[in-house]
Structure formats: structure tokens, C-alpha cells
Amino acid sequence: MRRKSRNIFALCYGCWLVAIVLVLTTSTSGCDAGKATASAEQLAALDQQLKSNEWRLEVEFAMPMASPEYVSAANLGVTQARGSSVTNINLTGEGYYLEMHGDSIKAYLPYYGRRDNVTRVGGRGGIELDTEYTEYKIRNSRSGKTLEFFARDGYERFRFLMELSSGGRTEVSVFSPQRDVIRYRGMTRFKGATP
């Protein structure tokens, strides 16, 4: 019996490691392999829009990491997951967003997953920010641009890694030492751009 529980633990641990590697590989090595390549004109237009530092990502889906704890809780009905699976949660029309204005970032994002440390009192479980961002970087990617920046909420420091396509489709991965990685997908709109 003891050997069987060790095998189950080893299997769960292996799945957890594979999930982390997949999330990190997808978010850092250009998860745009299946996306169309952006032309030079599209990249130039996207560069021009990004210079204003005025954009808003309307979040449509949350994609939490499938840690064993999260999946177990979701299967028991503890989480409020909506969508095709517990790792692809439909948030369309819920009002969740991530936006940049000048040198500040605002975020109102739900969080699904394991959190190791509580840094705020008041029952908030999501990611709510209204602060300055730091270490802002933009790189070219196959389908558009990759944005990277950091923001702090109390003792918690978040790393945002965004894959922004020339058509506005965006996927953002949010990293924190105190939480499992979570990704969001939606459309980015630039200030002054036509919808």
C-alpha cells in the first residue's frame, strides 16, 4: 500500500513539473508558433501604437496552471470555473482587464490556483493593481510584440509577459513567487484606435 502511494505521489509530482515546464516554455519561447507571422508594416504600426503606453486588454479567458491541488478543488466543485475546462475559464463580459496609462498599470484579474502567502487582508483573491510598473521591455516576436514588465502590490511582485499580435489578440502570463503561474487571453485596444 505504501509503495502504491509513493508511485501516485511520483506521478503527480512529475505531472506538476511537466506543467511548469510547458507553461514557462510556452510563455517565454514564443507561444506564437501556430499564429500568423506579422509583416514589417504591421510591426511598425504596432510599434507606433505601443509608444503611447495607452492600451487596455479586455480579458476573455483565464488559463490557470493545472496543479494537482487546483484540479482536485475544481473537481470537487470548490472553484467557480466556467468554460470548456478548469484550465480554460470563460470570462467574456465579466469586466476583467489589464491596462497601461503612461507609467502606471491597472489590473482587475481573477485568480485561480494555489497561493502560498497572503499579503493582503480583506478577502481579495484576485490580482488588483493600480501602481507604477518597472523594467518595461518590448521585443519583436513572430506574430507581433512581446512586452515584459513588473509591478508590485505590497510585498508581492508580479512579472507580466505579454504576447501581442498585430491584430490585437493577446496572451499574458502572470508570474509571482507566491502564486502558481496563470495566463489570460483577450483583445488589446489602443487609445484612439477604432474598435
Parse the chain into domains and list their residue ranges.
2-190
pLDDT of residue 143: 80
pLDDT of residue 192: 62
The CA distances from residue 174 to 64, 150, 159, in Å, are 10, 10, 6
State the Cα–Cα distance between residues 38 and 140, nearest whole angstrom.
Answer: 10
- % of the chain with per-residue pLDDT over 90: 26
Which CATH code fits 2-190?
A: 2.40.128.410
- % of the chain with per-residue pLDDT over 70: 61
DSSP single-letter state for residue 35: S
User: Angle at which helices 68-75 and 2-28 pack, to 10 degrees?
Assistant: 100
State the pLDDT confidence band at 159, using cuts at 50, 70 and 90: very high
